[in-house]
A = this chain, B = another copy of it.
Amino acid sequence: MTIAQQSGLNLMPLPVSAQPGIGSLGVDSSFSAAFTGHTEPRLERAGERFLKQLARQTGLPLFLKPVKTAKATLVIQTDHASKEIQDVGEDESYVLEVTATGAKLTAPTPLGAMHGLQTFLQLVDVSPAGFAAPAVTIQDKPRFPWRGLMIDSARHFIPLDVLRRNIDGMEAVKMNVFHWHLSENQGFRAESRKFPKLHELGSDSLYYSQDEIRDLLAYARDRGIRVVPEFDMPGHSTAWFVGHPELASGKGPYDIERKWGIFDPAMDPTNEKVYKFLDDLIAEMARIFPDHYFHIGGDEVNGKEWNANPKIQAFMKAHGIKNNEALQAYFSGRVQKLVTKHGKIVVGWDEVLVPGVPKDIVIQSWRGQASLAQAAKQGYGGILSNGYYLDLGWSAARHYAVDPMSGDAASLSTQEKQRILGGESCMWAEYVSPENIDSRIWPRNAAIAERLWSPQEVRDPASMYVRLDFVSVRLEWLGLTHRTALPHMLQRLAGSASPAEFAALHTLTEVMEPVKDYTREQTAPAVPTSSTPLNRVVDAVSLESDAGRRFGELVDQFVASACHDPAAEARLRAQLTSWRDNDAILQPLAQRSFLVKQVIANSQDLSALGTAGLAALDAIVKAQPAPDSWKEQQLALIDQVKKPKAQLLLIPAPAVQKLIEAAAAGGACSAPKP
């Protein structure tokens, strides 16, 4: 555990080191900030943003512009400019020294200065004497140079204001790459002036104009964030073929895909016109996106169109291309040359890594750390996304435990390790809308951001959760809606519910999570499409239930105390009682709302959990082993409750199971209740 971890500071990501000082720096209406050393308009804007955010956090009427005097409360010294086009591995370090009389932030580049400003914002909190930042000296720099969030804005279109607030969130947790997944079977979302049929026919009019894209790039650059565009090919490209069927391997015509999954359409790697088209398109997009990297996708080609096309089969035979994998390698090689020609470095998913691919590409691994390590051994750069898929509904702790340098990567040589550039969380968008996307990304993404920024030994999930709760609130101050989305969406489900009914709906939904991994399709009541309303309980509930997690912690604490913790017992009893009684309150609402009715089996399960938990608690307190028959009956109930219903899981089930097992084991408590 580092000093930073021991410091009790609510920082996320934790810095490399934090040395506590004496006292604290008060923040009142007279607070000011000044830049010294290298200055540029971007820093000035960062200063204004910082002051605005500080004013919002504190409610103080601050003067919202940086001042010119070095007597400012916070002086930010920047040594020199960063590169005109932000590059991988630029110096992002900073030193922040807060004393009782002032604060000094020092950074070689604006990137470090901006990171330090975010750290300062996290330090400021309400205190007994006013708003204040604790005295501390922080030295900090990132562990990995590539710390990204991918947003799929192709399966569901995500409006610019939603992207912007997520970029604000990235800045707050020091992520520095926005990977923009712009094309898919379900949509081609970037305006092409060279090939306007791409977005005109392939997007249902939901696309980003080139001006809007440029605005977003400037917005991201202002926050020290690179933007890597992805145009996925040769598969995942049905939407391209609506306007340009000549690129495809099948006969067409093509429609925008409305379902989810892996589909047959793929570009024709044997058609020279495809490469001419891609040359022109990449040229156009390379001009718009200044980043040195260009993502060509390359994942999940099922090869069916290739198999069915005699011309392609003849080409493969003529050129000695043995199978579809080799055909894709041929395609990737050709496309890579085009990308290189336009001055960019290729990024692609695992599948682009086949023998013979040139070394100057970066592999984004969705398959796992093994393939990442393998790539590094072969001399390829790599970024990890396996383990960071936000749409799979994992807990923050589970994402947090995934380390790019663990598994096969741990045994790499120093040189090989340097090829592992970092990682990217991925927000695939089958089930996200502008309304719920924030709650699918945040706050869990902050835990991934810490994994990629902080030293490897920062990995205590308990500390992480304490700080995650804190930063989650702070992220909402930026305009993100991950915490308010649930009550807001519940209002729609609840219609004219009474306050008690609404509270009951909240009690139920706050302990549920959507089914995990890829089971949502399997459990869907009907084949989901891009037109399926995302207005059900499964779309509203958090991907990680805070209330469920806290109940589990409380049960663990109680069981570990061998029931000598009467306060924990009282809290458990209150919680279980409220669950037991909840269904009766909710039933009338279920009769009035078809959306509430969909979760009435879950509601009955929660009631049953409450009853079972109370029975277990009574048995534990009696300190006599409950009969085997009771235990079997209760565990059968738990098994039943654990089965997903309405695509939802009831998170407290395993914790109640622990209580039942403790009861069956005879409890351990004979101390009198207070």
Contacts and interface: CB of A to CB of B under 8 A. Distances in A.
Interface of A: 10, 29, 57-61, 125-130, 433, 435, 470, 473, 476-477, 484, 488-489, 491-496, 499, 531-535, 539, 546, 550, 591-597
A593 B60 contact: no
B59 A126 contact: no
B128 A594 contact: yes
Given A59-B535, A125-B495, A128-B594, 9 more contacts: A57-B492, A59-B435, A61-B532, A125-B496, A126-B494, A126-B593, A127-B495, A128-B591, A470-B496
Nearest to A491: B473
Contact of A126 (B10, B477, B492): B492
- Most central of A433, A546, A595 by chain B CB within 10 Å: A595
Nearest to A502: B473
Which 4 residue pairs of A and B lie closest in terms of their CB atoms, listed nearest first?
A59-B535, A126-B495, A126-B593, A125-B495
Given A59-B492, A470-B496, A492-B59, A594 B130 contact: yes
16 contacts: A58-B492, A58-B533, A58-B535, A59-B492, A59-B533, A59-B539, A61-B531, A61-B532, A125-B495, A125-B496, A126-B492, A126-B596, A128-B593, A129-B594, A470-B496, A499-B550
A435 B58 CA distance: 12
Given A470-B496, A473-B491, A126 B534 contact: no
A480 to B, nearest CB: 12
Given A59-B489, A484-B484, A489-B59, A595 B495 contact: no
Contact of A59 (B61, B499, B534, B550): B534
A581 to B, nearest CB: 11
Contacts of A126: 492-495, 592-596
A437 to B, nearest CB: 14
A531 to B, nearest CB: 5
Nearest to A473: B491
Contacts of A493: 126
A368 to B, nearest CB: 35
A256 to B, nearest CB: 14
Contacts of A59: 433, 435, 489, 492, 533-535, 539
A10 B499 CA distance: 16
A60 B29 contact: no
A61 to B, nearest CB: 5
A495 B132 CA distance: 11
A484 B535 CA distance: 21
A179 to B, nearest CB: 26
A641 to B, nearest CB: 24
A16 B654 CA distance: 56
A533 B126 CA distance: 14
A592 B126 CA distance: 7
Given A126-B593, A126-B595, A533 B29 contact: yes
A128 B592 contact: yes
Contacts of A592: 126-128
A488 B478 CA distance: 12
A546 B60 CA distance: 28
A148 B85 CA distance: 53
A169 B591 CA distance: 31
A128 B597 contact: yes
Nearest to A592: B128
A231 to B, nearest CB: 26
A139 B128 CA distance: 59
Nearest to A64: B205
A57 B470 CA distance: 31
Contacts of A484: 484
B533 A60 contact: yes
B61 A533 contact: yes
A61 B539 CA distance: 14
A60 B491 CA distance: 15
Nearest to A62: B533
B531 A593 contact: no
A105 to B, nearest CB: 22
A533 B535 CA distance: 39
A593 B127 contact: yes
A406 B476 CA distance: 47
A540 to B, nearest CB: 9
Q: Which of A59, A130, A476 has most B Cβ within 10 Å?
A: A59
A611 to B, nearest CB: 19
A539 B477 CA distance: 17
A533 to B, nearest CB: 5
A59 to B, nearest CB: 3
A10 B495 CA distance: 10
